Structure 1
Amino acid sequence: KQIGYLAQTAKLLGIDTPKIACIAPSEQLLPNVVSSTEGALLAKMADRGQLGKVIVDGPLSLDVALYKEVAEHKKVKGSSVAGDPDCLLFPNLESANVFFKSTTHLCGGELAAMVMGTKVPCVLTSRGDSSKTKLYSIALACLAAK
């Protein structure tokens, strides 16, 4: 379901075939790490067309997902997602929250957050978010409500 929600959100932003990176601790398949095996499984399902019009790769470490140079240095080959994702799929709420807050507070990023899969779009902000982040979140939810 999460891949479907990411695809829906990407479409709202004009991305017809989103490139989705399944984030895990390593780009190597680690059989004992759930996020690793789930990332590999989702990538295979996407290759077979079972997840709709998406391109999925995983498992990918965050640095490989975000930076093409890192992917090349770590010899990750054949990925159209590594270094150029449209969406990041985190293994759980905790890691997504840490990424979001690190991006906004440590890096000065402005992001939008919304919960998909509910009857109506649900804006997801924190008391500590900037006015811009809150505005972007409301704007994204308005797009989703159409």
Structure 2
Amino acid sequence: MFLNSANDHWRLIINDISEHLDSLRCLVGNIVEQHPYGEGGLETRRGTKHFSPGTKVYCLPAQWGDGYERVKVIGRHRGSKDFVTMVIPSAHITNWRAKVVYNPEVIRRLRTATDEDWLPIWRSKEEVEKYVASLIQWEQRRDTQDGTT
């Protein structure tokens, strides 16, 4: 009986530690400083309705077959500063990069979001870096077409 209790005790400790050491690879970006808004894009808005400019957002893999035009992201809301999960246009994200995520709340939200949609989280560093490379190319083409470069 004593051994079972000791084993159970250590199992709990190991599980607790592993929760804190958990990490995931993820595609990360920042909310753009400003973007065109309104009819014909005549107005300029700073950040988005829900995210301040520069806010770090953790991006999930493509889900809808739209060429990653819209992205499900996790980031700190501009009002409450709590983490939120929502879908935003990828054009409102810049500074794409591959990062390892350690924040337990972000990891929990990534896992919850992918469980809901039956999607895997990023499988490897290479997969994330491939997305980063294609998003940077897409961003450069878009900026060239818009005449912003």
TM superposition score category, shorter chain reference? under 0.3
Q: Give the structure with higher Rg (CA).
A: 2
Say which structure is richer in strand. 2
* Relative contact order higher in (CA < 8 Å, ≥ 6 apart): 2
Report the TM-score when normalising by structure 1.
0.26
